[in-house]
Amino acid sequence: MCGIVGYVGSGDAVSVLVEGLARLEYRGYDSAGVAVQNGGGVETRKLAGRIAGLRELLARRPIHGHCGIGHTRWATHGAPTERNAHPHIDCAGTLALVHNGIIENADVLRKRLEQDGHRFGTETDTETLVHLIEESPGATLEERVIAALNHVEGTYGVAVVAEADPGKIVVARRGSPVLLGVGDGEYLVASDASAVLGHTRSVVYLNDGDVAVVTAEGYRVLDRDAREQERAVDDIEWDLDAIALGGYPHFMLKEICEQAETVRSTLRGRLLVAEGTARLNGLNLTAEQCAAIRRIVIVACGTSWHAGLVGRHVLEELVGIPVSVEYASEYRYRRQLQLPGTVTIAISQSGETADTLEALRAARAAGSTVLGLVNVVGSTIAREADGGIYLHAGPEIGVASTKAFTSQVVALLLLGLYLGRQRGLDAEQGRRLVSQLVRLPELVERALAVEPQVRALAERYADARNALYLGRGANFPVALEGALKLKEISYIHAEGYPAAEMKHGPIALIDENMPVVCLAPKDPVYTKVVSNMQEVKARGGRIIAITSEGNGDLSKLADHQVAVPASPPLIAPVLTVIPLQLLAYHIAVLRGCDVDRPRNLAKSVTVE
Ligand code: G6P
């Protein structure tokens, strides 16, 4: 969601802040700003728009200092205007604050603060917090921040600077990530490690409830009673190359094209060929615990939820226990009827999605063991789960998730293999699956070779106003994912549907202007999908069939066929999704859309 960055040291704060904001821009990009504390107090520059605009503004009206904070915003309360952009300042103009999250009791607080004489200049919930700090008692900024936060309901990651406490940034987190970057004579704060990587690879991940005081001399982490806490310093595993375009026009294309490598990376060191199983040390489940599992619940949002739907097929098939897949946002507010022996798996690329995190907490409160399938190392879900599997797909910058999806499905296959072998899947079956997974990166590489063909298709359908995606079995979630990719980056209305269920409604939409993408790889429901394609054909729909090599000719039925390498049915989603990612990408580019920063979206949704 929004991005926070802060700097204190001997360098020029503004250049570090703007560099950090540019790296965080993928998390929110409707407005941006910085505040610098210098001899003259606290000065801010902000605007509605992107970081490029902020750079120009700062070139026209520079500010200088060695301590400052910055923010790139994804609007929740109040339109994305200059006034509503962060940092926000108090009445006296001596405090500046940036905030991620939502102050849920903002209306009540605002009314009271206005009655007490505070003047509000914005429509944001965040501004209440800066006025609260202004009137809070305390000898130091951290004491005032702690006192103010005691009145706040909701979620926050905040960074604050004040004229009265020169050279100091106070940060706090509850439900929204904040980390400290530990440099040489300089310290950074950020909502995401990518913002500090240009300066240091040493980071301190703050826990929920932590408050940290950062100066050029060092940092202190406090709890809400101002007692000092120890926090470990971790190393970031990747470097700046991982978040550079590397010659690609967009991060999304780069991330699609690197999937052979990212899938390999998810598998690396985890396949035990002779034993026919997987090594998943991070799961932290004993053999007894594995044997006691009676039910698996998967909670996730967006693309990760689609991966979860594939996971249901994988886990039910390989492990033989019932799996339900829940929208995290719905699950968390339902009564939890959890049976003993429930394992809940939170799937999340970022590890910070607010609803997924809260669903995990709700599951734990109901007595479930909780696991995380997470990409971002050190993220909140990763740290709160009892165990899990890191995807190791590297940073995903494109807002539309691609490589995380394929790695999530691969991680679910590894989990299915591991749990299956613990619970009756025989060694021969295990070895067969291991050998199929060993070959998977090469198959992904070959699937990516469809790009020129898909680009030509994109030219043909770039002007479509609607699109339908149909699939069955493990490829139904792929249909959902293909439709999501198209709508989120090209703004073409698209729906994913179970191919047979189409007859109960969407078939009414089909005419010669409706592209219908049918997922038809070789699997046990192939002939059924072919029947559904007949139904589309009979109504004049334009069929794009995603099939597998050696699967027979569909040219009598389909207007276009794209073949990915043949694979066992449970693995096929990793391959069939690739043409759909490429189709969405090329259509969006042809329509002139901002592929990496689609309108209204954000990469990491840290508000519910
Ligand atoms: C946002 C992103 C999606 C992502 C979803 C869940 O909507 O734009 O790409 O799938 O959040 O995010 P997570 O980080 O939990 O996988």
Who has greater pLDDT, 552 or 194? 194
pLDDT at 448: 98
138 burial type by CB count under 10 A (0-12 exposed, 13-18 middle, 19+ buried): middle
Judged by DSSP in three states, 561 sits in strand
- How does the average pLDDT of the chain come out, rounded? 94
pLDDT at 605: 74
Q: Is the CB of 489 under 6 A from ligand 1?
A: no
Where do we find the tokens 């310093």? 233
Judged by DSSP in three states, 156 sits in strand
Q: How far is the CA of 396 from the centre of ligand 1 (A)?
A: 10
Q: For the packed helices 451-461 and 572-590, what is the interaxial angle rounded to 10 degrees?
A: 50
Q: Is the CB of 401 under 6 A from ligand 1?
A: yes
H-helix or E-strand containing 78?
none
Q: Which atom belonging to ligand 1 lies closest to the Cα atom of 300?
A: 15
> Per-residue pLDDT tens for 461-513?
999 999 999 999 999 999 999 999 999 999 999 999 999 998 898 888 888 88
Q: Is the peptide bond before 579 cis (omega within 30 degrees of 0)?
A: no
Question: Which residue puts its alpha carbon closest to atom 15 of ligand 1?
Answer: 348
Question: Which whole-number Å values give the CA distances from 93 to 88, 161, 222, 510, in the listed order?
Answer: 9, 11, 26, 59
Q: Are 64 and 36 in contact (CB under 8 A)?
A: yes
Provide, rounded to the nearest whole percent, the portion of the chain with pLDDT above 70: 100
Strand pairing of 179-182 and 218-222? unpaired
Q: How far is the CA of 55 from the centre of ligand 1 (A)?
A: 28
Q: How far is the CA of 537 from the centre of ligand 1 (A)?
A: 34
Q: Which atom belonging to ligand 1 lies closest to the Cα atom of 399?
A: 8
Q: How far is the CA of 379 from the centre of ligand 1 (A)?
A: 14
Strand pairing of 3-8 and 187-190? antiparallel
> Per-residue pLDDT tens for 414-438?
999 999 999 999 999 999 999 999 9
Question: Which whole-number Å values give the CA distances from 327 to 346, 350, 356, 408, in the listed order?
Answer: 10, 16, 8, 16
Q: Which residues contact 396 (CB under 8 A, 6 or more apart)?
A: 251, 255, 349, 375, 402, 403, 404, 603
CA distance linking residue 72 with residue 81, whole number of Å: 12
Q: How far is the CA of 353 from the centre of ligand 1 (A)?
A: 7
Residue range 224-236: mean pLDDT, rounded: 90
**Whether pLDDT at 219 is above 80:** yes
pLDDT at 1: 61
Print the SS3 string covering 188-250. Answer: EEECCHHHCCCCCCEEEECCCCCEEEEECCEEEEECCCCCEECCCCEECCCCHHHHCCCCCCC
603 carries an active-site annotation: yes
pLDDT at 148: 97
**Whether pLDDT at 276 is above 90:** yes
The best mutation among 176, 191, 349, 406 to test binding of ligand 1, ranked by most ligand atoms within 8 Å of the C-beta, falls on 349
CA distance linking residue 70 with residue 17, whole number of Å: 6
Q: For the packed helices 403-422 and 572-590, what is the interaxial angle rounded to 10 degrees?
A: 170
Where do we find the tokens 């508000």? 607
Across the strands, what pairs with 463?
Answer: none
Q: Are 65 and 13 in contact (CB under 8 A)?
A: yes
Residue range 180-194: mean pLDDT, rounded: 94
Residue range 313-337: mean pLDDT, rounded: 95
pLDDT at 246: 87
Q: Is the CB of 350 under 6 A from ligand 1?
A: yes
Q: Which residues of 166-187 are buried (b: 16+ CB within 10 A; e: fewer)?
A: bebbbbbbbbbbbbbbbbeebb
> Per-residue pLDDT tens for 548-588?
998 888 988 999 999 999 999 999 999 999 999 999 999 99
46 carries an active-site annotation: no
Could you give the dihedral angle defined by the CA atoms of residues 181, 187, 191 and 194, in that order, rounded to the nearest 10 degrees? -50
**What φ, ψ does residue 276 adopt, rounded to 5°?**
65, 40
Q: Are 297 and 343 in contact (CB under 8 A)?
A: yes
Q: Is the CB of 407 under 6 A from ligand 1?
A: no
The best mutation among 29, 325, 605 to test binding of ligand 1, ranked by most ligand atoms within 8 Å of the C-beta, falls on 605
What is the token pair recorded at 532?
Answer: 């559904």
H-helix or E-strand containing 508?
none
Listed ranges 1-10, 232-241, 362-371; the one with the highest mean pLDDT: 362-371
Across the strands, what pairs with 204?
Answer: 180
> Per-residue pLDDT tens for 21-73?
998 877 777 899 999 998 778 999 999 988 999 999 999 999 999 999 999 98
Q: Which of 254, 403, 487, 603 is catalytic?
A: 603
> Per-residue pLDDT tens for 95-110?
999 999 889 999 999 9
pLDDT at 512: 87
Could you give the dihedral angle defined by the CA atoms of residues 106, 107, 109 and 114, in that order, rounded to the nearest 10 degrees? 130
How many Cβ atoms sit within 10 Å of the Cβ of residue 104? 14
